[in-house]
Amino acid sequence: MIAGDCMITVRVDVGGLVEGARKGQARSVARLISLVEDGHPALREVMAALAPYTGRAAVIGLTGAPGVGKSTTTSALVAVYRRLGRRVGVLAVDPSSPFSGGALLGDRVRMHEHAVDPDVFIRSMATRGHLGGLAVSTPQALRVLDAAGFDVVLIETVGVGQSEVEVAALADTTVVLLAPGMGDGIQAAKAGILEVGDVFVVNKADRDGAAATGRDLRHMIMLVEREPEAWRPPVVKAVASEGIGIDDVVTALEEHRAWLLADDGRRLDERRRRRAAGEIEAIALAGVRRRIAGLPPGRNVSDLAETVAAARLDPYAAADQLLAALGQAPPP
Amino acid sequence: MIAGDCMITVRVDVGGLVEGARKGQARSVARLISLVEDGHPALREVMAALAPYTGRAAVIGLTGAPGVGKSTTTSALVAVYRRLGRRVGVLAVDPSSPFSGGALLGDRVRMHEHAVDPDVFIRSMATRGHLGGLAVSTPQALRVLDAAGFDVVLIETVGVGQSEVEVAALADTTVVLLAPGMGDGIQAAKAGILEVGDVFVVNKADRDGAAATGRDLRHMIMLVEREPEAWRPPVVKAVASEGIGIDDVVTALEEHRAWLLADDGRRLDERRRRRAAGEIEAIALAGVRRRIAGLPPGRNVSDLAETVAAARLDPYAAADQLLAALGQAPPP
């Protein structure tokens, strides 16, 4: 008999899972990503075991407003990459993505083609909050796919909130999708996309206004100040639902990759160092936040907050006390 | 003679500024907010001096997509509150706001009416990044206005990204503005607004589709699960540019405030404790981040990131090393 409040931690065979993933076993890959998502105690062991095999995959981020056709484009890109013989991993961080269940039938059918292909691995990730931010565990899930030997990893994320900036920080190459007539005011308000995009795709290019959207976009891209040797983002037209223009998108992606790899790959190295720095700092700050959450009454945030809310202490002095308490607290 | 690289820190008379602000001198208020925005060394002294006077202002957040009429509504609300004899502070955290310079002439004219009123203080705050997030210093600027005795502080923020969640965390009452025909798909995608809004305003209600927008909104609000004794957000129609419906908005705001203050104000206390907790933690984490940035070569993030990018270390082990280095480092 097992007591009701007894927690059972199943011992995980990390070595076996990593070996299985390296051999291309989808089940091992899926299990490793689940460990990552669950924040399983074996997570550190997993990451240490994966580290030597990372850094090989081409990481491509796809972002855009809801309705521009991100999932359809992702699906079409998977098909082209498979034709080129590449193994492809997909992380869909998008609550409205057909990968995550909220599907249009046509997309579902297209996805099913890939679902039976052993060289394609598709995984939807839970988002953080309502606004479609990247899942906290996305960088680690990416490490799993990278170490498992996928040549290309596509990260699809809905372009609301800050997710396009987050995905750009994670990807080697960022694709920004637009569609004609999607409310230019709102798209323009998010001028941030002009700086994060390495390749722009005007999808649904068979619709009215596609030429104008492409022209406006080219104009706005030109207005962004760039260094003389900087990459000039191309604008590609596509109708992803019919596979039209997707080869051109892949060509643009390969050109960007060649640019990253030129000069002994210093540009790619630079991007990856920046990505690693962000990852390390995020993990460290999450650790600090966990320690803050674990402080005992009398020294914790909620007691300090009560004193501040009662106007008996200012928040800076309270933050000092919090950090002091952290210094005295035993490590987690 | 002064050497070229000599930094001069002007000694600030914190006591005098706080006294001036408490007396209603706009210049002192403005100077204190500038100290806050600049992260001036006197910031801690300022916050300590202000703390005893805080917690009195009714803090109202206004958010909504670009083009729904936030600034016009803010301006109209200022007029109504002034008629009621209240002193009003406005913090505009919106790059497209007329307060920040990007103005429509009509709005400018309306603002100028208030600009000469000594009992109205208007300040635009720089945003963080492209996506219109709240300025880091917004909570502290709010403390300045609160301590300076403004009865109502309106915080206007553009509703892209996570700013509506941030402003809701800061405000006692959050107003979400919508307008007919603003792209319902995009508005619906941001379902987060349904949970943060205490009062919903369908502005530009003289336009086609206003009734439908109001009906859809009411329906969506009804679908949000709420506790039995929770506040039921009203939907108010307005044409802010003509002042129509603004009295109704103020009535809704006062009703929400009465609800917050019922039962010995336990709901308001709860919101303010949560706000203070967020503020304290943000200040503490900013301090940790500053200490991380100040680590010497060999132990800093960029060196660790290089090792991680080269696949010789995993990011969790690197984060451990970073926190260990922080423990050894002298306090900033």
Instruction: Compute CA distances A159 → A134, A196, A246, B167, whole Å.
Output: 10, 12, 20, 21
* pLDDT score of A183 more than 80: no
* pLDDT score of B50 more than 50: yes
Tens-place pLDDT, residues A57-76: 999 999 887 788 888 999 99
To the nearest whole Å, the CA of B116 is away from the closest chain A CA by: 31
List beta partners, residue B170. Answer: none
A265 versus B4: the higher-pLDDT residue is: A265
A327 versus B6: the higher-pLDDT residue is: A327
With CB atoms and an 8 Å threshold, state whether B276 touches A309: yes
SS3 at position A323? helix
Angle at B163 between CA A300 and CA B59, to 5 degrees: 70
B100 versus B93: the higher-pLDDT residue is: B93
With CB atoms and an 8 Å threshold, state whether B292 touches A284: yes
A136 versus A267: the higher-pLDDT residue is: A267
Tell me how far apart the alpha carbons of residues A215 and A236 are, in angstroms, rounded to a whole number. Answer: 11
User: For chain B, how big is the Rg over CA atoms in Å?
Assistant: 22
The mean predicted confidence, pLDDT, of chain B is 83
Chosen from B314, B320, B321 to mutate, greatest number of chain A CBs within 10 A:
B314
Backbone torsions φ then ψ of B165, nearest 5 degrees: -70, -40
Tell me how far apart the alpha carbons of residues B134 and A79 are, in angstroms, rounded to a whole number. Answer: 41
Least CB–CB distance from A51: residue in B182, B280, B313: B313
Across B137-162, average pLDDT: 87
Angle at B238 between CA B82 and CA B265, to 5 degrees: 60
Residue B162 neighbours by CB distance under 10 Å = 21
SS3 at position A58? strand
* pLDDT score of A10 more than 70: no
Do residues A210 and A184 make contact, with C-beta atoms less than 8 angstroms apart?
no
Tell me how far apart the alpha carbons of residues B330 and B326 are, in angstroms, rounded to a whole number. Answer: 8
Backbone torsions φ then ψ of A120, nearest 5 degrees: -125, 130
**Searching chain B, which residue's CA lies closest to the CA of residue A181?**
B183
To the nearest whole Å, the CA of B1 is away from the closest chain A CA by: 37
Across A222-229, average pLDDT: 82
**Searching chain A, which residue's CA lies closest to the CA of residue B191?**
A130
Do residues A172 and A268 make contact, with C-beta atoms less than 8 angstroms apart?
yes
Name the band, by pLDDT with cuts 50, 70 and 90, for residue A1: very low
Do residues B192 and A130 make contact, with C-beta atoms less than 8 angstroms apart?
yes
pLDDT for A190? 54
Chain A residues with CB inside 8 Å of B133's CB?
A: 162
With CB atoms and an 8 Å threshold, state whether B288 touches A323: yes
With CB atoms and an 8 Å threshold, state whether B315 touches A276: yes
How many beta-carbon pairs below 8 A join chains A and B?
216
User: For chain A, how big is the Rg over CA atoms in Å?
Assistant: 22
B9 versus A302: the higher-pLDDT residue is: A302
Q: Which of B149, B44, B331 is nearest to A316 (CA)?
A: B44
Least CB–CB distance from A276: residue in B131, B287, B308: B308
* DSSP-derived secondary structure letter, B69: -
**Searching chain B, which residue's CA lies closest to the CA of residue A36?**
B316
Chosen from A314, A322, A326 to mutate, greatest number of chain B CBs within 10 A:
A314
With CB atoms and an 8 Å threshold, state whether B67 touches A185: yes
Tell me how far apart the alpha carbons of residues B282 and A319 are, in angstroms, rounded to a whole number. Answer: 8
Task: Report CA B183 to chain centroid distance, whole Å.
Answer: 25
pLDDT for B163? 63
pLDDT for A112? 63
With CB atoms and an 8 Å threshold, state whether A283 touches B315: yes
With CB atoms and an 8 Å threshold, state whether B322 touches A280: yes
Least CB–CB distance from A189: residue in B160, B191, B318: B160
With CB atoms and an 8 Å threshold, state whether A309 touches B190: no
Sign of dihedral through CA atoms B119, B146, B111, B205? negative
Chosen from A142, A187, A260, A280 to mutate, greatest number of chain B CBs within 10 A:
A280
End-to-end CA distance of chain B: 31
Across B268-287, average pLDDT: 91
* pLDDT score of B185 more than 50: no
To the nearest whole Å, the CA of A306 is away from the closest chain B CA by: 5
Chain A residues with CB inside 8 Å of B191's CB?
A: 130
To the nearest whole Å, the CA of A1 is away from the closest chain B CA by: 37
A110 versus B58: the higher-pLDDT residue is: B58
pLDDT for A185? 41
Tell me how far apart the alpha carbons of residues B67 and B82 are, in angstroms, rounded to a whole number. Answer: 25
Do residues A102 and A92 make contact, with C-beta atoms less than 8 angstroms apart?
no
Name the band, by pLDDT with cuts 50, 70 and 90, for residue B68: confident
Share of chain B above pLDDT 90, in %: 52
Chain B residues with CB inside 8 Å of A133's CB?
A: 162
Give the neighbor-by-neighbor strand order of the sheet with B152-158: B120-124, B88-93, B152-158, B58-64, B173-178, B199-202, B235-237
Chain A residues with CB inside 8 Å of B129's CB?
A: 162, 165, 192
* pLDDT score of B42 more than 80: yes
pLDDT for A27? 92
Task: Report CA A244 to chain centroid distance, whole Å.
Answer: 26
pLDDT for B304? 96
Q: Which of A27, A33, A277 is nearest to A135 (CA)?
A: A33
Tell me how far apart the alpha carbons of residues B37 and B57 are, in angstroms, rounded to a whole number. Answer: 20
Do residues A34 and A46 make contact, with C-beta atoms less than 8 angstroms apart?
no
Q: pTM (2 decimals)?
A: 0.77
Share of chain B above pLDDT 70, in %: 80
With CB atoms and an 8 Å threshold, state whether A161 touches B162: yes
Tell me how far apart the alpha carbons of residues A80 and B238 are, in angstroms, rounded to a whole number. Answer: 52
> Maximum distance among all alpha carbons in chain A?
71
Q: Which of A213, A206, A249 is nearest to A73 (CA)?
A: A249
With CB atoms and an 8 Å threshold, state whether B139 touches A315: yes
Residue A92: which H helix or E strand, with range?
Answer: strand A88-93
Least CB–CB distance from A308: residue in B158, B162, B280: B280
Chain B residues with CB inside 8 Å of A314's CB?
A: 44, 47-48, 50-51, 143
Least CB–CB distance from A47: residue in B191, B301, B314: B314
A167 versus B145: the higher-pLDDT residue is: B145
Name the band, by pLDDT with cuts 50, 70 and 90, for residue B130: very low
Q: Any residues with CB less than 8 A from the CB of A268 and at least 6 apart, and which?
A: A172, A260, A261
pLDDT for A134? 61
List beta partners, residue A64. Answer: A158
Least CB–CB distance from B309: residue in A47, A55, A186: A55
Q: Any residues with CB less than 8 A from the CB of A164 and at least 6 apart, and which?
A: A63, A157, A174, A176, A190, A192, A193, A196
Across B141-158, average pLDDT: 94
Structure token pair of residue B126: 């720089």
pLDDT for A51? 94
Least confident of A30-39, A162-171, B76-85: A162-171
Q: Which of A159, A125, A174 is nearest to A145 (CA)?
A: A125
B217 versus B133: the higher-pLDDT residue is: B217
ipTM for the predicted complex comes to 0.83
Tell me how far apart the alpha carbons of residues B241 and B244 are, in angstroms, rounded to a whole number. Answer: 8
Structure token pair of residue B118: 């000594």
To the nearest whole Å, the CA of B158 is away from the closest chain A CA by: 10
State the helix-helix crossing angle for A138-147 and A246-293, rounded to 10 degrees: 120
pLDDT for A131? 41
Tell me how far apart the alpha carbons of residues B58 and B147 are, in angstroms, rounded to a whole number. Answer: 12
SS3 at position B160? coil
